[in-house]
Chain A
Amino acid sequence: MKIALCIKQVPDTSDIKWTEHNTIKREGVESIINPYDVYAIESALQIKRVCTDVEVTVITMGPAQAEDMLRKAIALGIDKGALVTDRKFAGADTYATGKTLAQSINTIVPDFDIVICGQFAIDGDTAQTGPSIANHLNIPQITFVKEVVECNDKYIIVKRQADDGIETLKAPLPVLLCVLQGYQEPTRAKINGYITAQKAEIKTYTLEDIGLTAEDVGLKGSPTYVSKAFRPIVTHNCEKIHANDGTIELICNKIEEFKAGKNE
């Protein structure tokens, strides 16, 4: 069975810079792996544990530095990594991203059975890329997945967080899943995982390699654009301290004081 796993490197949300086009500046910003994509990786590993002959390829569209993140996934037990990178991808909205990733999956893992995404990325926070990929691949999708219950090479059974409860759903393959944090314990990388990851060859794909044109991708291929970005403003006087040895006592004293309703 072949799995394509899409993960994204996101800027640390406390350190944001914008370009003159009002899109997010990626270079020179502290980057982390999108927290939801950790669960996506986890689901892929889980399927690897219960099914035989599973090969997982982790794919990201992003700058060259995103390669580190792919190696981290490989250290956890993912088989292969592919970096889809091109200057022309910059400024993509979820439509263009979905199209680019779908085309990448068709190029890199044409015989895929399952595509796994995170439910959403903490930078854009849209939860749209997964369904957009599913649409472009013309396959069913299950979003808000909390747990993979059963999986074989014909179908998959998952638990899904609906608005009003938990659904158990069965889907034929191929299918795309968007996952939330589930109930499972996260896997940790082992020493040999790191060694494998260091040695792993990460293939790079450009716009040309995936067979799209400059009009399809990036800012050009995006129907939406940011016209204005601004900060919501609120101010208030706060007694702010950096945590130190006395912090715990201070918190407890303040709680007592606040409880008693003594005002300043």
Chain B
Amino acid sequence: MSEHKGILLYAEVTRDRYIHTVFFELANKAVELSKKLGGCEVSALLITEPNQLENYRDGFINSGIDKVYIFEDEKFSRYDTEIYSQLAINLVKEIQPEIMLIGATNQGRDLAPRISSALHTGLTADCTDLDINEKLQLAATRPTFGGQLMATILCKKMPQMATVRPKVFKPMAENAVRNTEFIKKTIDTSQIASKVELLDFVKTLENELNELDSAEIIISGGRGIGTSEGFEMLNELARLLNGTVGASRVAVDMGIAPKSIQIGQTGKTVRPKIYIACGISGAIQHIVGMKDSDKIIAINTDENAPIFNVADLGIVGDINKILPELIEYLKKTKK
């Protein structure tokens, strides 16, 4: 098709100086895709401050990839959209990969569209499956419409780009030790300056003891809950029922529920006695995280919502009406 060859992965460095786990998951998948492409090269892009490489070296060697391209500078102590995307764009233009994969973390989702757009190519977000089709194209499958539909997307430009959420693919099972080659790229950083300045950072505290593991009853909210006040209602219900609160990914993405309580493929897997899904459509990625609950109750305005396919009791109705009534009723009967 063209002279584009090989798979390039973005090796995200976290704030506390780790290679993000999603990289190893991507590496595993990339090695598999590379076999289908006749054994093309799999490489990684690492952007880091100086003297950190030794900490990452073993991880790369065990990930089964062939090459790591390294950009090192004091200026790379923190992720910056414009600087990082520029480095990635330059590397892509130089090595011309046919595929580029990036983890769909908040960093990756900030970076990836910036790169693809500058390279005038396409990007498929949040893929749940990647494969090589009979024409040797990257076939990227992703859910749309809240997971009610799956779509397989192809790209007619190079590189074909995709992002994948953490935990979607498995990391390498056994050590896939390769003779990984480390290539330091030299760049003139005198012209590079970050425009966006970091003034402050407050780390999120993960719940020390995540109650979701032990709770008998989980009351979970999704997009249908809509607001933080809506989640307050769920908290109150949880107190009354002696349970705890969970959330769909959309609720987390909306910023109305913390990431630590996300249930599903990229969140927690739970098996309480009772799972109450409020305003959750029942996308397959959510269902995999809660389907083994003993009993499932679902409340949803849409009578065709897929969540009813796994529920034992399904209430077709509006949570804004049902939940306040339920709270009132429980308060009364408790006394």
Interface residues of A (CB under 8 A from B): 13-14, 16, 22, 35-36, 93-95, 98-99, 119-120, 122-132, 134-136, 140-144, 146, 157, 161-172, 175, 180-183, 222-232, 234-236, 238-243, 247-252, 254-255, 258-259, 261
A232 touches B144 (CB 8 A): no
A16 touches B149 (CB 8 A): yes
Interface bits B298-310 vs A (CB < 8 Å: 1, else 0): 1000111110111
User: What are 22 pairs between A and B in contact, CB < 8 Å?
Assistant: A14-B304, A119-B253, A123-B144, A125-B125, A126-B125, A127-B109, A130-B113, A131-B112, A131-B117, A132-B113, A144-B106, A164-B203, A165-B202, A168-B199, A180-B254, A181-B255, A230-B149, A231-B148, A248-B325, A251-B326, A252-B330, A255-B241
Determine the main DSSP class of B at the interface with A: mixed
With both chains docked as a complex, state the minimum distance between the C-beta of A14 and any C-beta of chain B, in angstroms. Answer: 4
- Known contacts A136-B117, A165-B204, A229-B150, A252 near B333 by CB under 8 Å: yes
B253 partner residues in chain A, CB cutoff 8 A: 119-120, 180
Interchain pairs with CB closer than 8 A, number: 264
* C-alpha spacing A29/B195, complex, angstroms: 42
B144 touches A252 (CB 8 A): no
A254 touches B313 (CB 8 A): yes
B329 partner residues in chain A, CB cutoff 8 A: 248-249, 252
With both chains docked as a complex, state the minimum distance between the C-beta of A47 and any C-beta of chain B, in angstroms. Answer: 17
A234 touches B287 (CB 8 A): yes
Among A135, A183, A250, A259, max chain B CB count under 10 A is at: A135
Interface size on B, residues (CB 8 A): 94
With both chains docked as a complex, state the minimum distance between the C-beta of B323 and any C-beta of chain A, in angstroms. Answer: 10
* C-alpha spacing A220/B122, complex, angstroms: 13
With both chains docked as a complex, state the minimum distance between the C-beta of A25 and any C-beta of chain B, in angstroms. Answer: 12
Residue B232 is within 8 A (CB to CB) of chain A in the complex = no
With both chains docked as a complex, state the minimum distance between the C-beta of B316 and any C-beta of chain A, in angstroms. Answer: 5
* C-alpha spacing A111/B281, complex, angstroms: 42
* C-alpha spacing A162/B247, complex, angstroms: 19
